[in-house]
Structure 1
Amino acid sequence: MASRQFTFPVLLITSLFFLWGFAHNLNPILIPHLKKACQLSDFQSAFVDSAFFIAYFTMALPAGYCMKRFGYKAGIVTGLLLFAIGALLFYPAASTREYLFFLIALFVIASGLTFLETAANPYISVLGPPETATQRLNFAQSFNGLAATLAPFLGGMFILSGKTLSPEAEAALTEQQLQAYLQTEADAVKIPYLLIGFIVLLVALKVIWTRLPQINETVGAKTEQIGASSLFANGNFIFGVVALFFYVGAQVGVVSFFIRFSGAVAGITEKAAATLLSGALLGFMIGRFAGSFLMRYFAPAKLLALFATLNVLFTLVSVSVSGLLAIYTLMGVTFLMSIMFPTIFSLAIHGLGSKTKQGSSILIMAIVGGAVLPLLMGLISDWFSIQAAYLLPAACFAIVLVFALRNIRQRQISEVEVTVQRETV
């Protein structure tokens, strides 16, 4: 998968995928938790995702500039330090129980993750043979899936109390009792996020002390597509940005509303729903490993097309039925989402050569879809139902399918051109 000189750097960079996956997948726990602790409406609680993913949009270009100027290692260290600072800010945020403070802390965390993802996704793609770049990226993303499995399970265990006051029970409390209950709920995030902050700081120190290979991407400039004078003239790259925007929006929406969806369609409590979500994201992790294995035998674009098709169908089933069947099909959706981000990313930056860092920054900006689409799902849920809101992810997966089909067609045309060239020589 990678030559010996790249083995330890690949392992170290892969650990970053685990760290940001853990931070990402605590958000579905924070949404119902902060809704209680800060007495929020459903729409207000959705800003947890917005604060998180707006950072990707605003910080992606600075992250790309940092790497272009100072290299991948500087981008990674900067990202880890911002990540740690944001996690440590949860302590004063919980003490004040100010929702805006929580959103600022989340924005700082996500700013750090923007640097990490802008650096790590393309960096691990070039740490080894080009022909196995997509496979290598999917392997690293598998540990993102492992973190996604553990985060809701541990978050449900240590953050969610399982106590939700009915309007009648809340009205029966004195103001002092109510404030004490709300502060206890808010304080539950202090220890988990302090631990995260300190662990991330230790990883930052390890990266500082480790000599990472410098990659000269100008060598890959020969692979740039002919006639692509800029990234914006590269149709496949632009479509990749669009596909990533809608995919991330779908992924965030599917996972973030899972606990509320489970309660609405099957009457499942928040702790039980958090356990189900952990199981669903275990499927996400298994899907990453399975996808990495299957790509040895099937073209990434073809596998992406198959998974996208099934996701459209599974999401529509979740919208159409009720009870456990709706939840199980939604769990199936998380399994099928597994390969989508790394595969879209890898297909989009393929052939960019010296423009890879710039292209990576723009692709990371597309993650802002995670800030936009969940808000739209929240509005649809308020107007109609939480099940109706899941029609939006179904439409997003259809867009991913079209991107995959385009890449299959491009690969087929390329293979025909190579064959013709060989026959004419």
Structure 2
Amino acid sequence: MKEKSLYLKLIPVMLVFFTMGFVDLVGIASNYVKLDLGLTDSEANIFPSLVFFWFLIFSVPTGMLMNKIGRKKTVMLSLIVTFVSLLIPCFGDGYVVMLASFSLLGIGNALMQTSLNPLLSNIITGDKLASSLTFGQFVKAIASFLAPYIAMWGATQAIPSLGMGWRVLFPVYMVVAVIAIFLLGATHIKEEALEGKPSTFAECIALLGNPFILLMFIGIMCHVGIDVGTNTTAPKILMERLGMDIHAASFATSLYFIFRTIGCLTGSLILAHWSPKKFFVVSVVLMVASMAGFLLFDSKVLLYVSIALVGYGNSNVFSILFSQALLSMPQRQNEVSGLMIMGLFGGTVFPLLMGVASDALHSQTGALLVLAVGVLYLLLLFPKLREQH
């Protein structure tokens, strides 16, 4: 009976993880917007950068908001903001309209990622948290890898009278967001009462003075930078080196998320029985091999292998680093969660640097060099991780 009750609580939470994956539509969407509006790499990369900019602004305040209204109510608020962000593109596709949509998508996702992971810790506790977070990332990745297919279907097969083209992606995901709102709203999840007074903004930021928390924070910045960067740049690499059009090249984004999905599913099983620290180094070595493949080869097969390797390798990095940070300060989980999700600001920094580097070198090699720096940091981070029991 207890196990059945657990599953009934997990189902709506996992549907919210699926909704969390909507943020990754920005990668393929930015490529379509670039094509529609005739933008440069630097201009197009503003879209993913804008989405993740809001993590810098909203993550820590969201941690404080959770202390006041609770984790579930904060997740509900995030779903409502996400719903509005998906509604906006149904009425147009201009530059300002897409900026507004992606801004709200980023704000909603910042609220969601900060509050949903700790909410899961109210259901799953102890050493199973890392594997449960990874399973949540697996569900999230399903939404991520479906996005390019839905966009491509809309652009090539959707009923012309709809007049939406690739933007049909937004109403499809909007319906799922509505279902998530109602399911989670009807689910009772017990939350522990906060002990002592809520932390101030300054006290939250001061946690970065803890060397271990700072290392995890920068690690998550690199993880998300690699994630968003690959999501955005992989199609451009295929278009540049193999002469593909955008519809064919969008498969690169799906391939990345297919292997991220496989990585999350297998990772949730592996992490239930194997040391997160050992699995982390295996994951990063795969990403090192991927960067070497991207920089050295022009073969279609080897480029696809490189995309698959970075997809699988990067799939479990967030869960491992996030759980290490949470478990290092169990009494400050809301604040630590806010800080770690602020690290998703890496999704702003990397695409901007990659766009500038690509324009400067007139090649996607510039973007790949920026990604390689992030992978190198994760490799150097490995010895600092702690064994979890």
TM (norm. structure 1) is 0.83
Any idea what the Cα deviations from partners look like across 1:18-58, whole Å, max 9, x if unmatched? 1121x223122211211122232221111110110011111
Where 2:338 maps in the other structure, the secondary structure is: helix
> Is the contact between residue 377 and residue 389 of structure 1 (CA under 8 Å) also seen in structure 2?
yes
Which residue is 1:25 aligned to? 24
In the alignment of these two chains, the number of paired residues is: 378
**CA distance in 2 between partners of 1:140 and 1:265 (Å):** 35
**CA distance in 2 between partners of 1:286 and 1:273 (Å):** 21
Which residue is 1:111 aligned to? 107
**CA distance in 2 between partners of 1:3 and 1:28 (Å):** 38
Q: Residue 280 of structure 1 is aligned with which of 253, 256, 275?
A: 256
Of 261-270 and 123-132, deviating more is 123-132
Which residue is 2:78 aligned to? 79
Any idea what the Cα deviations from partners look like across 1:339-392, whole Å, max 9, x if unmatched? 111111111221312210011011111111101111111111112120232122
Call closer, same or farther: CA 1:377–1:18 in 2, change over 3 Å.
same
> Is the contact between residue 153 and residue 278 of structure 1 (CA under 8 Å) also seen in structure 2?
yes
**CA distance in 2 between partners of 1:59 and 1:232 (Å):** 16
Call closer, same or farther: CA 1:159–1:59 in 2, change over 3 Å.
farther
What's the CA shift for 1:217? Answer: 6.7
**CA distance in 1 between partners of 2:38 and 2:340 (Å):** 35
Call closer, same or farther: CA 1:269–1:397 in 2, change over 3 Å.
same
**CA distance in 2 between partners of 1:270 and 1:286 (Å):** 25
What's the CA shift for 1:233? Answer: 4.0
**CA distance in 1 between partners of 2:156 and 2:235 (Å):** 12
Where 1:279 maps in the other structure, the secondary structure is: helix
* Two-structure CA RMSD over aligned residues (Å): 2.6
> Is the contact between residue 312 and residue 395 of structure 1 (CA under 8 Å) also seen in structure 2?
no
Which residue is 1:212 aligned to? 189
Q: Residue 154 of structure 1 is aligned with which of 133, 150, 155?
A: 150
Where 1:26 maps in the other structure, the secondary structure is: helix
TM (norm. structure 2) is 0.90
Call closer, same or farther: CA 1:3–1:213 in 2, change over 3 Å.
farther
What's the CA shift for 1:105? Answer: 1.1
**CA distance in 2 between partners of 1:357 and 1:239 (Å):** 18
Any idea what the Cα deviations from partners look like across 1:223-278, whole Å, max 9, x if unmatched? xxxxxxx6234221111001111111111111111111111122222112222431
Q: Residue 366 of structure 2 is aligned with which of 373, 376, 388?
A: 388
Which residue is 2:218 aligned to? 242
**CA distance in 2 between partners of 1:160 and 1:36 (Å):** 15
Any idea what the Cα deviations from partners look like across 1:138-190, whole Å, max 9, x if unmatched? 111111122222111222221468xxxxxxxxxxxxxxxxxxxxx99983255
Call closer, same or farther: CA 1:330–1:405 in 2, change over 3 Å.
same
| Percentage of pairs with the same residue | 20
Please say which structure displays the higher CA radius of gyration: 1
> Is the contact between residue 154 and residue 167 of structure 2 (CA under 8 Å) also seen in structure 1?
no
> Is the contact between residue 154 and residue 164 of structure 2 (CA under 8 Å) also seen in structure 1?
no
Call closer, same or farther: CA 1:156–1:190 in 2, change over 3 Å.
closer
Where 1:338 maps in the other structure, the secondary structure is: coil
> Is the contact between residue 3 and residue 128 of structure 1 (CA under 8 Å) also seen in structure 2?
no
> Is the contact between residue 150 and residue 168 of structure 2 (CA under 8 Å) also seen in structure 1?
no
1:401 aligns with 2:376: no
Which residue is 1:338 aligned to? 315
Where 2:72 maps in the other structure, the secondary structure is: helix
**CA distance in 2 between partners of 1:236 and 1:217 (Å):** 24
**CA distance in 2 between partners of 1:129 and 1:104 (Å):** 38
> Is the contact between residue 84 and residue 200 of structure 1 (CA under 8 Å) also seen in structure 2?
yes
> Is the contact between residue 18 and residue 143 of structure 1 (CA under 8 Å) also seen in structure 2?
yes
1:265 aligns with 2:218: no
**CA distance in 1 between partners of 2:269 and 2:113 (Å):** 23
